[in-house]
Structure 1
């Protein structure tokens, strides 16, 4: 605000003097100077500007074309350099693999087992040579190693004990056999006639007294090379001396030719059965059109621009090749040039934008010059408006001060409300703690009812047994009382699962043992109730991952609830409880889970109670007979061990509770 006032005090031309009248509308008219106004240009001047615009368009076209050619050539050179490094690595990797096995057939040809076999192919010599070849082949990690007699028949092979063994096969027609039979090293890539698997064959003659008495051959599987390219968009392929692509990272290009085969070469391939049962067809590799090359400039040395496909818009590749010596193969690496083309387009667009930006900057500079002249004329109006702005600022400042004072009062009120809220939250936390303590006390009372009843029964029985002098039985009852006491201690320590999670102790638990303990605890209540166990799997395999005490707690709750339901039956109806143990039924049921179903013939579960059955403190029993925590605790225990607990009414009356748990490994459970 003060800076503007200082500017208004500066003595400039056209500034209103003190005591003069405010600027009139005539003073604010736009400038009419023909040197700075575009609208006042004459007809010839407009023609001049049209020529300037056409010249700028022509210059932009030249800049864009030059940028595209330079960016294309630079990107192509970089792509050729990167592709050359990759193709050199692939060639070195392939060559090192071939050289590593180059001397293996020669070493095999020197072994006396091979000479004995070729001199006298008895069964003993054949068996000894087979075992030797298998050992050599396993140690060298080759595909196959075999020995061929001068007649062309394979006498021994490393795969002699396999159904598709090379033993007995004829190889007279193979070039690698013919070359070795003439005393030279044979190298050949083709598809095997026995297994129909492609491979690279290296053969060596077996010499004795200056003559060839046999041929040793090592076969290598080179299919791994076709999968060596980590990027499917940059194919790698290897062609033989005839131009047939026998290795390729693109499966559809394998066994295709770089150029059409002559009738002589086709006849030669059929005679040697080099590519057994494969249809050899040309791969549509088209060199790039000369017009495109003239447009973009020459290619880097050692590179070739090709298209794969008959269409003119087919994918363009930069092909970099390397020739291998022994064998006479050609390794070709194709890298797509679309990224180079995209980079050249982007550079061209960037150059066009830069040129357009420069033109716009020049136009902006001229317009700004005109605007500055207009601002000099408008300055007097701005000075008059500054005073009005200052008055408005003062009024606004007063409003802001009033608003600020109001906000201060609101902050004080909110701080007080937040303090009251924190106090209320503390009271709620304390109330939640007291509720949790009450829930724990109720849960402990519920879980200890059954052991206490069993303790009473065992103590009464012990007193009677002592009166009768049956000290052995009394001792057993006392031991049972001690076990129950220990169990009650564990219950009080572990019933915290319902209120909060504790550390689990998951072991392999035999369901039969847990059921025996459960029925022993509930024996006083069973009375005349008929209890039947049904096993759909052997008892030795009914082992689950759980805690034995907690599993017994769940079973006590389920069987106890069944007994309570049976007591509600009519007097004439006998009580019955069926316990079924087996795998979960159903096509989609998991095989690693076990179900324990407890079924009674009571009146069943009322429909209105079914949705709330597993809620804490919900019970259908009369007051004083239950707290409604048994099923809630059982559900928490089952869920803690990766299982579940469900309930349903069964046809004919009664209810069924199904406990699902994770089965333990049968092998480890057998050692329990």
Structure 2
């Protein structure tokens, strides 16, 4: 009896220890999972909030840099104030801010984007606001508070407005952050200011509460700046039950045993000095810990019962001994089966060895075949490179012949100035042909082209000059589309220093010559041939589209459009390399070349390149280079007896 009691006590103590370990492990695992989920939610919310704040960080500076704003702050004439109101209204509408306004050096609002409304800020005084004080000192002001006029909460960003070396006023942008936090109220999210006041919360009842008691001087400062006007700021009824490592606590909101408990994690947002607080309910962790403890207890009891069953089972082993004779017979049969199996394994081993030898021989043949394929690939690449260089030299050679024929005519007629211009053009084309030949090492080494800046209008002007003879009788429309605006006519002989693509000059002209030459092939023989070249200028990219009025691209040809040596032209009229080379150039420059059929018929090729900005020096240099090539903008008059060699352009 005593032995059984001791066994029972030992088993009971073991049950208690196992349940405690299961509870502790489940609790730690659940808390870690909550912290990871809270970190993910915090990262997502922090990124969204900081992205919104950073998006408008520079807007007050841009507003203050406008000459109209500086003039009206220095001299608030009524007509200038009216114009400033309309300007701020337009800026605020496009920037999608809440309110944009400017404040004079005396702290009074001069103009605002809401000047039309009943709650207009115009005429209000803001000398007491911290964002005005900081900006008046020459710093960037950041402040969250409730508006004294609109009574709506918002985030204020301010910048000083300077005229010369003097600060003449302050430009302010107000943002509405009431979209925060965009998550379920079951898992609250809070944002506190540097004083610990909750000003953003997914639980409305927690707004304008404090996470800790405020000192008297902080309360007076909030009242003086009217940061949270008409709000009774009281501490949030929260108590810390357990402090966890890594800025995390288990807190209880409210009083009583039924008050909800949360895992509170905190993180700093940086600038401004705010903190994001995530509150994750721990009730699911408690439920999971209880379930794990119960399941562990049942498992432990089951193991104990299994032990008792095993002891009872041992008593029956004696009965098994009576079957020894049968077991010996079965053992003999097993030996026979093992011998048979051993023979089968020996045969399988021999087959495996033969298969290994066969695979070794096959692998050697595969390596030899692979070496032959590599050599063949090298030869094919060499042939494609030589054919591509031959294709790109055809255009300058044809232009050289045209310019040389024209020069003879001009010399015969005594037009020496025109002859001199043609000779300069011949020299430029010769230099260009040298650059094309020098690019052989780029094709051989598979090197990326250098990052250069190429004025698009200049490259387009040079391409049209090379194709001048073929463009006779073809209507060419040049347009410029700035963002979402409607297309406007583009003068190819004008200067457009803002349209600069990140691409090598020569390669950009090669692509344009190929695309325009393809369009000319498509409209050849049509009654009313037309080509439309449009440059769409976006902030980050420049898209050059070449559309023609031809028959378009067949559906069966479209998938193979950019394959090397693929062409639908007759023998001798094209190598099928133009579009392949153009697509390769676009990729090397970080862009792309695409093709599709237009809605009104005809094919459309779109070359997209990254856009870059030119400084003043670069713009002046580009203008000088454009003037040097102005003589190539229009084809020179030539004798009817002179002929221009056929321009080769690839089109599928």
Give the match's secondary structure for 1:541. Answer: coil
- Within-5 A mapping of 1:123-522: 163-166=125-128, 252-253=205-206, 277-278=230-231, 308=253, 315-316=260-261, 350=296, 353-354=299-300, 356-358=302-304, 360-368=306-314, 370-463=315-408, 474-494=419-439, 501-522=446-467
Q: Aligned-residue CA RMSD in angstroms?
A: 5.5
Q: Is the 8 A contact 1:71 1:344 kept in 2?
A: no
Q: Is the 8 A contact 1:255 1:279 kept in 2?
A: yes
Which of 566, 570, 581 aligns to 1:633? It is 581
Distance 1:274 1:354, change over 3 A: same
Mapped to 2, the partners of 1:56 and 1:435 lie a distance apart of 85
Shift of 1:553: 0.6
Q: Is the 8 A contact 1:541 1:666 kept in 2?
A: yes
Mapped to 2, the partners of 1:197 and 1:527 lie a distance apart of 66
Mapped to 2, the partners of 1:69 and 1:399 lie a distance apart of 55
Mapped to 1, the partners of 2:22 and 2:558 lie a distance apart of 76
Q: Residue by residue, what CA displacement relative to the aligned partner does 1:322-348 show, whole Å, maximum 9, x if unpaired? A: xxxxxxxxxxxx998766786677567
Shift of 1:448: 1.2
Higher mean C-alpha displacement, 509-518 vs 628-637: 628-637
Q: Is the 8 A contact 1:568 1:602 kept in 2?
A: no
Mapped to 2, the partners of 1:236 and 1:515 lie a distance apart of 54
Mapped to 1, the partners of 2:189 and 2:522 lie a distance apart of 75
Corresponding position: 1:598 with 2:550: no
1:643 maps to which residue? 592
Give the match's secondary structure for 2:563. Answer: coil
Mapped to 1, the partners of 2:556 and 2:21 lie a distance apart of 83
Distance 1:73 1:619, change over 3 A: closer
Give the match's secondary structure for 2:570. Answer: coil
Which of 536, 553, 565 aligns to 2:510? It is 553
Mapped to 2, the partners of 1:73 and 1:628 lie a distance apart of 72
Distance 1:316 1:57, change over 3 A: farther
Distance 1:527 1:313, change over 3 A: same
Distance 1:65 1:498, change over 3 A: same
Shift of 1:550: 0.9
Q: Is the 8 A contact 1:614 1:631 kept in 2?
A: yes
Mapped to 1, the partners of 2:497 and 2:254 lie a distance apart of 67
Q: Is the 8 A contact 2:19 2:296 kept in 1?
A: no
Which of 517, 521, 539 aligns to 1:564? It is 521
Shift of 1:318: 11
Mapped to 1, the partners of 2:227 and 2:555 lie a distance apart of 79
Mapped to 2, the partners of 1:306 and 1:540 lie a distance apart of 62
Q: Is the 8 A contact 1:542 1:582 kept in 2?
A: no
Shift of 1:355: 5.6
Distance 1:358 1:664, change over 3 A: same
Distance 1:392 1:478, change over 3 A: same
2:642 maps to which residue? none
Mapped to 2, the partners of 1:69 and 1:415 lie a distance apart of 60
Q: Residue by residue, what CA displacement relative to the aligned partner does 1:195-247 show, whole Å, maximum 9, x if unpaired? A: 9899xxxxxxxxxxxxxxxxxxxxxxxxxxxx9xxxx8999999xxxxxx976
Give the match's secondary structure for 2:470. Answer: helix
Mapped to 2, the partners of 1:513 and 1:75 lie a distance apart of 70
Give the match's secondary structure for 1:525. Answer: coil
Q: Is the 8 A contact 1:510 1:542 kept in 2?
A: yes
Shift of 1:626: 1.3
Q: Residue by residue, what CA displacement relative to the aligned partner does 1:253-298 show, whole Å, maximum 9, x if unpaired? A: 456799xxxxxxxxxxxxxx9996447999888999xxxxxxxxxx
Q: Which stretches in structure 1 are left out of the alignment for 5+ residues?
A: 1-47, 77-157, 168-190, 199-226, 239-244, 259-272, 289-304, 320-333, 584-589
Shift of 1:549: 0.7
1:615 maps to which residue? 563
Distance 1:566 1:281, change over 3 A: closer
Which of 562, 566, 579 aligns to 2:533? It is 579
Q: Is the 8 A contact 1:533 1:580 kept in 2?
A: yes
TM-score, length of structure 2 as denominator length: 0.51
Q: Is the 8 A contact 1:318 1:335 kept in 2?
A: yes
TM-score, length of structure 1 as denominator length: 0.50
Shift of 1:439: 1.9
Mapped to 2, the partners of 1:660 and 1:235 lie a distance apart of 44
Distance 1:366 1:277, change over 3 A: same
2:498 maps to which residue? 541
Distance 1:235 1:405, change over 3 A: same
